Structure 1
């Protein structure tokens, strides 16, 4: 594993409208499928994959372990997950990729804005550093420093903050 220093430069802000509070949204491989609209949530203690996205992957539900603990939403309401599958999670571009086996809590909500959320468990396993202002995540790999960048216009569209053309 590379031991490079992870840093973010002013030059990496090129093309990003600042100031902003846009979310970091990535498209990792989950179970060897490209899954778009995964929110990076540094404050979350869980990795969440919405059931609708899991079903689109065509994976059998019997891969899930039973979920015994409820999730507490930001609103304070608790929900009981459908199950917890362990899936391969890959980020980066070859040769700078990182793959881990991760547990996802399956949440069954209708029409989610995102397909899932990665939280501290995945970020810690990847040894990833997130820069919200740069809309970027960097992590060490055996091939050097890997990175994933969010598309600011697409992130604004997904969150209904701003359309892809830049109109509020």
Structure 2
């Protein structure tokens, strides 16, 4: 069975366990300096508003626009045999992905993401084996399709988040 549909220009979109929930459509972005959580994902994970911490720092997008965060929240992320508590910046945006994982998280799981191969290779915590987190090109194409449809309607839909 062929794991990667080629040719493609897909970003790396995976599934991760966050706050004990399986979250699909997680964008791996080695160019980002923050883990981003759209408000709708925050709501679907049923996190209490009291867990949000204030932040005074706006985010700057690649287009130079400022986005004011609603707050930050720390959540357990499980991947590559690691459990890491990571801070997410919660923002009122409507992307086609559920979460965006940033460069520092990639480094902490000792990951090397490859969009070409649709995998993020990680070392096990003891360094004895390689653990692959495979991309989900179907979810990637769904995200892209939702984005294209939303461009004409002014909003996007978020993919599902399910409790394990």
TM range (shorter): 0.7 to 0.9
Q: Stretches of 4+ moved more than 3 A in 1?
A: none
Q: How far off its partner does 1:77 sit?
A: 0.5
Q: Is 2:108 aligned against 1:125?
A: yes
User: Equivalent of 2:51, from 46, 63, 68?
Assistant: 63
Q: Is 2:142 aligned against 1:160?
A: no
Distance in 1 between residues matched to 2:136 and 2:35, nearest whole Å: 21
Q: How does 1:16-165 map to 2 (within 5 A)?
A: 16-92=4-80, 97-110=81-94, 112-142=95-125, 144-160=129-145
Runs (5+) with no aligned partner, structure 2? 147-164
Aligned residues: 144
SS of structure 1 residue aligned to 2:24? coil
Give the number of the structure whose residues are more often strand, by fraction: 2
With normalisation by structure 1, the TM-score equals: 0.78
Question: After superposition, what is the alpha-carbon deviation per residue over 1:11-59, rounded to whole angstroms, capped at 9, x for unaligned?
Answer: xx94423332101111101111111111011111111011111111111
Q: How far off its partner does 1:74 sit?
A: 1.5
Q: Which sits farther off after the overlay, 26-35 or 139-148?
A: 139-148
Aligned-residue RMSD, C-alpha:
1.9
SS of structure 2 residue aligned to 1:105? strand
Question: After superposition, what is the alpha-carbon deviation per residue over 1:38-86, rounded to whole angstroms, capped at 9, x for unaligned?
Answer: 1011111111011111111111121122111100012111011011111
SS of structure 1 residue aligned to 2:30? coil
The answer (yes or no) to whether the contact 1:67–1:80 under 8 Å persists in 2 is no
